Structure formats: structure tokens, C-alpha cells
Amino acid sequence: MKRLVILGGGESGVGTALLGKAKGYDVFVSDKGKIKEKYKDVLLNNEIEFEDEQHTESKILNADIVMKSPGIPDKVALVKQIRETGIKVVSEIEFASKFTDATLVAITGSNGKTTTATLTHHLLNQDLDVGLAGNIGDSFAKQILEKNHDNYVLEISSFQLDDIVDFKPKIAILTNVTPDHLDRYDYKFENYIASKFRVIENQTEDDYFIYDADDEVILDYMKTHQIRSKKLPFSLTKVIEQGAYLDNNNITITIDNNKIIMPTKNLALEGKHNVKNAMAASTVAHLLKIRKQTIRESLENFQGVEHRLEHVLKINKVQYINDSKATNVNATYFALESMDAPTVWIVGGVDKGNEYRELFPFVNEKVKAIICLGVDNAKLMESFGKMVDVIIETQYMSEAVKIAYKLADAGDNVLLSPACASFDLFENYEDRGRQFKNAVRNL
């Protein structure tokens, strides 16, 4: 019996444990932190051995295969030791994909992947049996065990791609590549870019690669690396023969002489970046033979993603917008770009080596006041201090929202778009977004 050791007792870890046990592995789960009660209950009910708040090396280094949670960096001593022992280390998507024959649509990128994955699932779900997994919802492994859909839309982070071996999606989407998580890639942007491109490394000419043809980073990488899969780019500025482009506010998608045209005027999601997300998702739907009418209707009734430019409430003619999911500068760039009124901007958190310069034009043009919400706001104060009349620091969401309420006039926006990770003051970006919404509702 092969021994499967799982590092990390969260959603992906517990899902993998259940699938591993069902497939005849001897399973052990080890978490250096505390495993949440709901996950402990699942492990106990399924008689899966586990430990938390420690890693017992003797129970780990005898593994045949180790599934490591994406949150654990490679530089951790235990992970180095496992690799030096010659034990194979894989991610959940690598392990789980071995047990399904489903058509896999894998979506990665620095920004837009959650919206694109959710939208793609929404388009396909009208006509096909399709699961949504990866960085989102129930774990991929658990769904294979319990539902085993015919198709999966997977939102995949670079950390999950770092530990693949044979993982091969039928359709891969790369939304964009901008500097993010550089702390995990030796502060080398090229390492992070290479990690994102691993989504297509096992693809053949029978598979498809959908990507943003307006993204210089992607185009530069493709100039020097051979891509075997069929390319279906999307663009807002160029005419694309095979793929998608914008023509007079219509999205035109062409695949093998089969053309469909979708008007953008009724898209449920606003902003240029969402036209791109819609192009990528519609290209997948077109590839998988979803009817044009279904695609059009689905694009018009899609509700969007929580914590992503989510309109919370209007109070005294001021619109409060929750964009807590903007954990990097590029995401905040899209948010500020789409603001059409003077904006009070709440920003800050754990800086991942951010470069704020690309935000300067928007801050000069649209932002009337900045509220820095983080433990260390020095870099923000230095970057933006001279650009706005009002810049204030706080470490409490409730206080940030009260200050914003005082600063905003009728017709203004209050935007939470942090451009940073949330771990200094919050459990995660969802916690940050929920605290923002609660604070707004309590005004």
C-alpha cells in the first residue's frame, strides 16, 4: 500500500485525503497550524490519521508521495528535506487529475482568474455537467470522489502549478501576468512568469491555449518559448483571425472558420478588464459547443464575484465598493480605472514588493483622499503622500469606513481596493471584505 502524506489540513488537503483513501492509499495529514474543526470532523469520520500544530518527521519522511498545500513555500526546511529524500512532491490538481477523464479547463493569471473561472463555469453550466474547483469552492479532489463531473473549470494559482508533473488541461487560459507573489520567487519576475506558463507545458497540438494578446509579458515569453497547443488569443486592440477581438463594441470570436458575434453593451460586468474576461470565457464556451444564444444570455445575467468591485450600498448618494480581492497593484489598477466619480480610496496591507507607479495617473485624476489600512503604511505614505490633500492611517476597518464616510460627498465613491495581501490585520481577503461590508452597513 502506497503512503500518501498531505501537508496542510485545509480544503485541498482534506479533499486529497478523502480521494487518496478511496483509491487505496495509506493516508496521513500533517498541519503545522491548527486544523479547523469542520475539517477535523471529516478526517475523524473517515478514520484518516492526522496531526496538527506539529510535523512529526518520522511519519512524513516515509511517504511514497507528498501532497503539499499551495500555501507552504518551497524554502521551508521540511519541504527541502522531503525533496532531498527523493520523495515526489505534488499539488492537489496534479494528484487529483490522475483520477478523472473529464475535460479540464485551467485558468491562471495574476488577475481576473476568479471572475473568468466563475463566468466560464456559468456559461458552460447551462448545457454541460461541469464542476468549479481549484482555488475556489469545494476541492477538486473531493469533487472527483463525490460527483466526478464530465468537465471541470479550475482556477489555478502559480503555487499549484509549481508542483505539477503531468497535469494537462484540454483548454488553458492565461489572463495576464503582472508582478505578484515575488516573495515566493526569489524576487525574480522571470521565475513567476515561467511558473504561470507551466499551465501549458504538457499540452499537445490537440489542446488549446487562450491568452491576452495585449499583454507584453505574455507575448515576450512566447517569442522565446515554443508553444505546442493551438493558440486562441483575445485582444481589445488588434484584429484576431483565430480567437477573440473587440470590433465596434462587439466581441467577435472565430474558431476554425466558425464565427460568433456578441454585443458588449449589455454585459453584466463593467470595465475593460471584464470585456477581456468575457472574451476568454466565451471562447471556451464556443470551443465546447455552447449555443450562441446561451452564451449571450449568460454574459448578460452573470452576477460577478464577491469582493471584486462589488457594489455594497449607496448611503447619502455615496457608493461603497468592496474590491478586497485586489491583493496586488494590477488588480487595483483595474478598479481605479473603472471609477467614474471622485473616489475615497482605502488601501494597504502586506506589501509583496509592490511598485505603485502605474497607479499615479489614476490617483491624480480620480482619488480625493487615501486611507491607509495596514500595520506598516510607510511605503504608501511615501508613494502617495504628495498627490492627495488627505492621507490618513488606521489599523481598524470600522474606523477606516467611518473616516471615509466623513470625507465623501454626494456623488463620490468609497473604494476598498487594497493592492496588498490581507494577513497583517485580517484572516484573508474574504474576512477583510466582509468586515468592510459590515462596517458600511453599520454606518
Question: Which residues does the annotation place in the binding site?
Answer: 109-115
- Taken in order 438, 343, 278, 141, is the CA torsion positive or negative? negative
Residue 392 CA to residue 386 CA, distance in Å, equals 13
309 secondary structure, DSSP code:
S
- Give the residue carrying C-alpha cell 481576473: 112
- Give the residue carrying C-alpha cell 477538486: 140
Residue 349 CA to residue 145 CA, distance in Å, equals 38
Judge residue 142's burial from the number of C-beta atoms within 10 Å of its C-beta, 0-12 exposed, 13-18 middle, 19 or more buried.
buried
Q: Give me the phi and psi of 428, to 5 degrees please.
A: -170, 180
Whats the size of the chain, residue-wise?
Answer: 443
**For the chain, what is the largest distance between any 2 Cα atoms, rounded to a whole number of angstroms?**
67
Residue 268 CA to residue 298 CA, distance in Å, equals 9
Residue 388 CA to residue 299 CA, distance in Å, equals 38
Position 270: which residue type?
E
Position 153: which residue type?
V
DSSP state string for 206-221: TSEEEEETT-HHHHHH
Taking each helix axis from N to C terminus, what angle separates 272-287 and 329-337, rounded to the nearest 10 degrees?
110
- CA gyration radius, the chain: 22
* Alpha helix ranges (H) inside 46-199: 57-60, 77-84, 92-97, 113-124, 140-146, 158-161, 189-197
Q: Which residue, 87, 95, 102, is CA-closest to 23?
A: 95
Residue 426 CA to residue 432 CA, distance in Å, equals 6
Binding residue ranges for ATP: 109-115
Residue 274 CA to residue 116 CA, distance in Å, equals 8
